Structure 1
Amino acid sequence: MDLIKSLENLWLSSGFVVITWKQVIMIMIACLLIYLAIKKEFEPLLLLPIAFGMLVANLPLGGLDKVPIYEFKDGQLITKEIGGLFYYLYKGVELDIYPPLIFLGVGAMTDFGPLIANPSSILMGAGAQFGIFFTFICALLLGFDSRQAASISIIGGADGPTAIYLASQLAKELLGPIAVAAYSYMALVPLIQPPIMKALTTKEERTVRMDQLRHVKKVEKIIFPIVVTVLVTLFLPSIAPLISMLMLGNLFRESLVVDRLSDTAQNALINIITIFLGVTVGGTAKAELFLRADTIKIIILGVVAFSISTVGGVVIGKIMYKLSGGKVNPLIGSAGVSAVPMAARVSQVVGQEEDPGNFLLMHAMGPNVAGVIGTAIAAGILLTLFK
């Protein structure tokens, strides 16, 4: 009888007894995302930790997000019960630590040479921000307040760290759904963008071979991050943490005198932060918070934002194709979203489907890195207006 009672108690203390149908749905969604990350290789570096964080967050009684309990004893604050792992890791999101560190790594991995060599790329990067402001209006019409609408709209920039940075300051209550949507759509760039690109361009436009970019001198590459940091920070102080870390990482790369720091930022640091950020972002997608009408709206608005941003970039590319007399391939305009270098690779892939000998990657990197800066500036504008 004691054995039976012990087995009964073991069963009653398990998560099987208290798991809800909503949690089961979230577990199924997480498994689908894991499948897409592993089998389809949809940006697994992002999608896999996010999906696994979502999975374990919806397994009941795990206590991963448990809040610590403190008490005063003899005039001192002591920890009576420690918090869960996700509680502490999430502080990096809550305190805006992870996004700037991610930008440091992105800056160290990014070559701004294509943008410097072809400054007109800025126009395509700017055009790809149209989805942000279009979605802001749509979110207001769907009943979100201005701060929430601003946070949701930044998904259109396809920049997860910027989305987290903005949402943590304007709409913390929506941080989970916004972060998951932003990173999920970043991972699904190869799936979402090509149909839009092909629908908006002709075969003739897609087969345009662009002239080789000019060589960019080292001094230009060193001056660029310094000038951008000064100008953007003076204009939008609110976005200084992101821009300064992005440009510091790039200065590490281009100066050629701090190879160890550049290597750390490009590899060890960004990999560690990606794990922490991905798992904690996924951990915010708990069933009781995620399966709500507002979340469904955010997911839909995210698709709209990202699609319109892609459209905006391609349309500017088509205009530049006309103005240049057919020398600009409009496919590179889709890379104006901030997903580096995913969006640029998509431009390359779609271009080579029409002409296997066409190499658009470096040309697409111009709008792509312009999009990183453009999305940060858009976030700074929204933060300045609505904080």
Structure 2
Amino acid sequence: MEILQGVWEVIKSILVNSGYAYFFTADGGYKNFIMLIVAFFFLWLGIKKGFEPLLMIPIAFGMLLANLPGANLAVQYHDLQGFIDLVAGRMTDTAGNTLTPGLMDFLYFGVKAGIYPPLIFLGIGAMTDFSSLIANPSSFILGAAAQLGIFVAYVIAIVLGFDPQQAGSIAIIGGADGPTAIFVTSKLAPAMLGTIAVAAYSYMALVPVIQPPIMKALTTKKERSVVMGTLRPVSKLEKILFPIMVTVIVSLLLPDAAVLVGMLMLGNLLKESGQTERIAKAAQNELMNIITILLGLSVGATTSAQSFLNLNTLKIVLLGLIAFAFGTAGGVLFGKLMYVITKGKINPLIGSAGVSAVPMAARVSQKVGQQENPSNFLLMHAMGPNVSGVIGSAVAAGILLTLLG
């Protein structure tokens, strides 16, 4: 009998100190349970629906790990000084207990120190062909116009009571560029990083759902049916000079954008130079894959129940949608203006591709255009504004960091 009593005491001790018991505590354990459900939902979106799976799945799994009670896998700091205090054993919880740094704390250092997003840009640059933009430089205008949503969302966020740094972090969602959103938020409002990253990648994944109604509402059937001419061939010299000149011009104008633009253009130069094929492939594949895992996992681990489940999260999600919608509208409206100026030679649909969701936004322009005119092929034309949007989002990030950082 004493043996059975002893076994029961051991079992009871294990259960009382388990994560399962924490779900039923009075200090908010149910919130962790809710966050696990949210993590399962995002895993479903990534695995079953294929919504940005390369980042959605690591972020969702990081969210899951962060909300397992007692696992010590949530990021416990939001700035570099906090990381120093955590490692030195000077950081304590609300009960006065000294916090011990965990795996995610060390992985997250790459986000907070601004390491992962630029390396992602390096890989993106190595995979990007800027020929469409070089062949049609007016695409720069459409890429710039699609950043309208960033500044509209910033103003609305200020009106809703967010401080300028928080408003800037929310607004950058409108650029539809996940690494840029993470980079800006880690500098301006790190406590909001998890929410903003999840919102940014969710809207990027929902481009085929969000954009078509806006595009159709702002254009006529005649405009959507416009067939654009063939783009001119681009020389190898142009492809080599482009990343060098963009780096110099943008970085001198906005030094805060230099790290993103510079890495983007370095990756592209490695691709186009013809002399660095081996490391260009490494940037496209091995480096990109490794950094994507580390970035997604560590960002997901910032979404603890305490920081994610609040009214501000709902506001951020709604403002992100507004930013994305206005960005799409800005590109389409400037496309309509170019349609008028060129006397019907520009299809306004390519303006929607000015958001930085490459190449999904360009594919949406192609799809909507072919619905009106099956012989219409807008993909290459839409890629110009699309890759311009990548540069535009980095420039917008530089502006926000210069003004608010």
> Secondary structure of 2:162's partner?
coil
Residue aligning to 1:308: 326
> Secondary structure of 2:20's partner?
coil
Q: What TM-score, normalized by structure 2, do the two folds share?
A: 0.90
Residue aligning to 1:3: 7
Residue aligning to 1:55: 64
Q: Quote the offset at 1:81 in angstroms.
A: 9.3
Residue aligning to 1:172: 190
Kept after mapping to 1: 8 A contact 2:218/2:332 = yes
* Structure 1 residue 340 corresponds to structure 2 residue 358: yes
Distance between the aligned counterparts of 2:221 and 2:231, measured in 1? 23
Distance between the aligned counterparts of 2:75 and 2:329, measured in 1? 43
> Secondary structure of 1:17's partner?
helix
Kept after mapping to 1: 8 A contact 2:174/2:320 = yes
Deviates more, 1:109-118 or 1:48-57: 48-57
C-alpha change, 1:235 and 1:367, in structure 2 (3 Å) is same
Distance between the aligned counterparts of 1:56 and 1:354, measured in 2? 46
Kept after mapping to 1: 8 A contact 2:67/2:74 = no
Pick from 361, 366, 379: which aligns with 2:384?
366
> Secondary structure of 2:22's partner?
coil
Kept after mapping to 1: 8 A contact 2:66/2:75 = no
Distance between the aligned counterparts of 2:35 and 2:368, measured in 1? 33
Amino acid at match of 1:55: L
Distance between the aligned counterparts of 2:231 and 2:7, measured in 1? 76
Kept after mapping to 2: 8 A contact 1:208/1:327 = yes
User: What do the CA deviations read for 1:5-24 (whole angstroms, capped 9, x no partner)?
Assistant: 12111211211111222222
User: What do the CA deviations read for 1:19-68 (whole angstroms, capped 9, x no partner)?
Assistant: 22222222222222222222221121121111221122112111113766
Structure 1 segments, 4+ long, off by >4 Å, are 66-72
- Size of the aligned set, in residue pairs, is 380
Distance between the aligned counterparts of 2:99 and 2:313, measured in 1? 32
Kept after mapping to 2: 8 A contact 1:252/1:261 = yes
Residue aligning to 1:140: 158
Kept after mapping to 1: 8 A contact 2:75/2:302 = no
User: What do the CA deviations read for 1:237-283 (whole angstroms, capped 9, x no partner)?
Assistant: 11111111000000001001100110011111111111111111211
C-alpha change, 1:173 and 1:239, in structure 2 (3 Å) is same
Amino acid at match of 2:17: S
Distance between the aligned counterparts of 1:203 and 1:275, measured in 2? 43
Kept after mapping to 2: 8 A contact 1:42/1:190 = no
Pick from 30, 38, 41: which aligns with 1:21?
30
Deviates more, 1:342-351 or 1:376-385: 342-351
Residue aligning to 1:102: 120
Pick from 148, 160, 172: which aligns with 1:130?
148
Deviates more, 1:311-320 or 1:54-63: 54-63
> Secondary structure of 1:285's partner?
coil
Kept after mapping to 1: 8 A contact 2:185/2:192 = yes
Kept after mapping to 2: 8 A contact 1:180/1:285 = no
User: What do the CA deviations read for 1:185-243 (whole angstroms, capped 9, x no partner)?
Assistant: 22222222122112222222222221111100000010011001001111111111111
Amino acid at match of 1:189: V
Residue aligning to 1:256: 274
Distance between the aligned counterparts of 1:321 and 1:160, measured in 2? 30
Amino acid at match of 1:288: Q
Pick from 212, 221, 224: which aligns with 1:194?
212
Pick from 201, 204, 207: which aligns with 1:183?
201
User: What do the CA deviations read for 1:290-340 (whole angstroms, capped 9, x no partner)?
Assistant: 111222211111111011001101111111122222221111111101111
Kept after mapping to 1: 8 A contact 2:131/2:239 = yes
Q: How does 1:375-386 map to 2 (within 5 A)?
A: 375-386=393-404
User: What do the CA deviations read for 1:167-186 (whole angstroms, capped 9, x no partner)?
Assistant: 12222222222222112222
Residue aligning to 1:77: none
Q: Quote the offset at 1:70 in angstroms.
A: 4.3
Pick from 33, 54, 62: which aligns with 2:42?
33
Q: Quote the offset at 1:71 in angstroms.
A: 6.8
> Secondary structure of 1:215's partner?
coil
Distance between the aligned counterparts of 1:40 and 1:325, measured in 2? 41
- In angstroms, what is the RMSD of aligned CA positions? 1.8
Residue aligning to 2:296: 278
Deviates more, 1:196-205 or 1:299-308: 196-205
Distance between the aligned counterparts of 1:57 and 1:257, measured in 2? 44
* Structure 1 residue 221 corresponds to structure 2 residue 230: no
Residue aligning to 1:212: 230
Pick from 128, 136, 142: which aligns with 1:118?
136
Kept after mapping to 2: 8 A contact 1:46/1:274 = yes
Amino acid at match of 1:6: V
Among the aligned pairs, what percent are the same residue?
60
Q: Quote the offset at 1:82 in angstroms.
A: 6.5
Kept after mapping to 2: 8 A contact 1:70/1:81 = no
Distance between the aligned counterparts of 2:363 and 2:75, measured in 1? 41
Q: Quote the offset at 1:69 in angstroms.
A: 5.3
Pick from 34, 55, 73: which aligns with 1:46?
55
